[in-house]
Amino acid sequence: MSLFKQLLIAICLFLVVAFSGSFMVSLESSRTQYVNQLRSHAQDAATALALSLTPNIDDPAMVELMVSSIFDSGYYSSIRVVNQVTEEVMVERSGTPEVGNVPDWFVKLIALEPAGGDALVSRGWQQAARVEVVSHPMFAVAKLWQSALGSLTWLLLCGAVSAVLGALLLRRQLKPLDYMVKQSHAIARREFLSLPELPRTPELRRVVQAMNQMVEKLKALFQEQAERSEKLRAESYQDNLTGLANRRYFEMQLNARVSNPEQASSGYLLLLRVKDLAGLNQRLGGQRTDQLLQAVGEQLQRECARFPETHNLVTRIRGGEFAVLAPGLVREEALQLAQNLESALASLHATGATDVASVASIGLAPFVHGDAPQAVLGLADQALAQAEAQGDSSWACVEHGAAASIGDDHHAWHTLLDSALSQQRFELYFQPVVATRDTTLVLHYKVLSRLTDEQGQTIAAGRFLPWLERFGWTARLDLLMLELVLKQMTGHQDSLALNLSAATLADPQALNKVFEILRQHASLGPRLTLEIGEEQLPEQALLEQLTRRLRELGFSLSLQRFGGRFSMIGNLARLGLAYLKIDGSYIRDIDQESDKRLFIEAIQRAAHSIDLPLIAERVETEGELQVIREMGVYGVQGRLFGEPAPWR
């Protein structure tokens, strides 16, 4: 039983005991008073009757008349006139009047006995007779009953008012305890909440202050770990001058794109080189040259931002060389990007920076899943060399045999995807996510999508997802996948994880449909986790609202491909995520690259401080597994433990 109920019951019991005791004392006092009144009433009646009978004691008719008149005019049980000498009853009247509207149990409970009085009738100097009067307690019982009803009504009224006021007071006083319960639950969900207004009660104030202090300590510890990890990430994967990603991070992402069929793994690589950087240093000076490189980086980011569906990555790989990794970019868009960059770099000269357009060259090269990273870089270098050799344009684009697959017909993809969504020609593939310590223990299965074309062949998500984003149909796929997954879950008890796209999160109508579908399958909530890619995260307010609504329905949320935006991990502490999946690019060859190990260890420490489980994606070798196991990462996912496949 809760403390609130216990205190409320104690208050009610106290009121009942207090009012009951007061009522009993009042009733007993009234009973004694009424007994005295009855005795006095009987004695007064006897004295008055005796005085009236003194001159008429020898007249029996007059005696009887006077006795009857007295008996009929009051509440008497009996009146007798007894001969004082012979003890014979001369006249007697008796009766038992009814006690109206008073229950018998109350009469028996009060047990108010009749009270009597007597007086002598004289004949001269002799005692002629004795008058005996016994008063009936009927009127006293009726008065006591009315008094009891009044006291009971007052008791109930005071009890009800006291109970309501006591409940309100207790609820207000114990409200900090309810918030402390929320704090505890929030800590279990890896959220940090503090009670801003301290209670006035000294005991509760001390408890709340201690709880707030603990929460702030945990929050500060986590923030410290997050800042340390972000600093380490910046040192390892960020260019100090421009703030862009460095060559190490670029190579990681390139390797991930060409080796992971689940992501948008086909696209274009753009290389930009500022020629004669040493000569620029001599002519402009180091400071102006640095400003030039920063301006080039800003222009690259600005122009690439026009193609958000490509999830492009702008990096400075060394000196005056920049690279843009643009998965999902088709040939027409790649050429448009190169032309835009040429014009943007020319605008730097127009603003007086320097003649960058004449010393910067741009090379474009396509890549697809399965290409060797060095081959892609070699092809981009070849395009860059052509751009430097030609005089009419500062950019060049080369192709290879896979170019046709990159520039697939727009109409063909539109027709294929539209019919596939309408006919639900998407298959569910599942990849196990296992515990690091015991790889035979499956934590959940990651749900992946495969498209079936007219010939019955399956197409990996990396090929059709960019087209779905261009056509604005990603939300349609999410809703279809969610319905297929929920339908599939009714046949087994395993836990699943399904990805939601940024298009669904940004579309209120689609998001409401998702919640409606989940509401109809709330019983499956503990077994289904929805995942969001780090590159698809919405604003913090929307993310918190999404997490709260999912939690109300019984479902949970997690992040995948995490690592590139580690600075936001401080905000993740308020979300109560189920787990955090580390991007596979940080896991690849972690047993051979110490900087990756240091970074993952920093993430592990930060996540461990708020009890947030980490799962490593794309673990493919025993060496990688061994390192991850030594670091204490919770779970692993990758080809080492099973290829994506239909449900067994």
The residue to which tokens 């515990």 are assigned: 435
Query: Quick check: 131 and 49 in contact, CB under 8 A?
Result: yes
Question: What's the whole-number mean pLDDT along residues 37-65?
Answer: 78
pLDDT digits (tens, 9 = 90+) for 171-226: 777 777 777 777 777 766 666 677 677 767 777 778 777 878 877 777 777 777 77
Task: Write out the H or E segment, with its range, that includes residue 82.
Answer: strand 76-83
pLDDT interval class at 494 (50, 70, 90):
very high
Task: Tell me the average pLDDT of the chain.
Answer: 81
List the one residue out of 252, 250, 249 whose CA is nearest residue 272. 250
Burial label, 226 (beta-carbon count in 10 A; 0-12, 13-18, 19+): buried
**pLDDT tens column, 360-375:** 889 999 988 778 888 8
List the beta bridge partners of residue 581. 615
Q: Is-contact 579 613, C-beta < 8 A?
A: yes
pLDDT at 163 over 90: no
Strand-by-strand arrangement of the 115-123 sheet: 89-94, 76-83, 126-135, 115-123
Q: How many CA atoms lie within 13 A of 371 on its CB side?
A: 27
pLDDT at 428: 93
CA 81 to chain centre: 91
Helices 138-188 and 3-53 meet at what angle, rounded to 10?
170
What structural domains and CATH numbers belong to the chain? Answer: 3-160 (3.30.110.200), 238-397 (3.30.70.270), 409-646 (3.20.20.450)
Phi and psi based region of residue 430 (left: phi greater than 0; alpha: psi -120 to 50; beta: remaining) = beta
Closest CA to 54 of 115, 143, 130, 146: 130
Identify which of 558, 589, 597 has the alpha carbon closest to the alpha carbon of residue 575. 558
Pairing of strands 395-397, 496-500: unpaired
State how far the Cα of 462 lies from the Cα of 257, in Å rounded to an integer: 9
Q: Is 328 left (phi over 0), alpha (psi -120 to 50) or beta?
A: left
DSSP letters for 19-41: HHHHHHHHHHHHHHHHHHHHHHH
Q: Which two tokens stand for residue 475?
A: 């939300």
Measure the CA–CA gap between 148 and 130, rounded to whole angstroms. Answer: 38
637-640-645-648 Cα dihedral, nearest 10 degrees: -90
Q: Are strands 360-367 and 395-397 parallel, antiparallel or unpaired?
A: parallel
- Give the burial class of 129: count Cβ atoms within 10 A of its Cβ; 0-12 exposed, 13-18 middle, 19 or more buried: buried
Residues 59, 488: Cα–Cα separation, whole Å: 114
Task: State residue 555's pLDDT score.
Answer: 93
Q: What are phi and psi of 392, to 5 degrees?
A: -80, -20
Q: What is the reported pTM?
A: 0.66
Confidence (pLDDT) at 407: 46
Query: Quick one: which of 458, 438, 81, 400 has its CA closest to 266?
Result: 400
586 within 8 A of 605, measured Cβ to Cβ: no
Query: pLDDT at position 570, please?
Result: 60
Does residue 541 register a pLDDT over 70? Answer: yes
Taking residues 255-272, report their average pLDDT: 78
Percent of the chain with pLDDT over 70: 89
Tens-place pLDDT, residues 448-493:
999 887 777 888 887 888 888 888 899 999 999 999 999 999 888 9
The amino acid at residue 133 is V
CA distance 625 to 619: 7
Query: Do 323 and 239 meet the contact criterion of CB atoms below 8 Å apart?
Result: no
Query: Which residues, 6 or more positions from 647, have their beta carbon under 8 angstroms from its beta carbon?
Result: 428, 430, 488, 492
Token pair recorded at residue 399:
């192709």
Q: Which of 549, 542, 432 is nearest to 497 (CA)?
A: 432
Q: Output phi, psi for 111, to 5 deg.
A: 50, 50
Q: CA Rg, the chain, in Å? A: 47
**H or E stretch covering 143:** helix 138-188
Rounded to whole angstroms, how far apart are CA atoms 616 and 633? 7
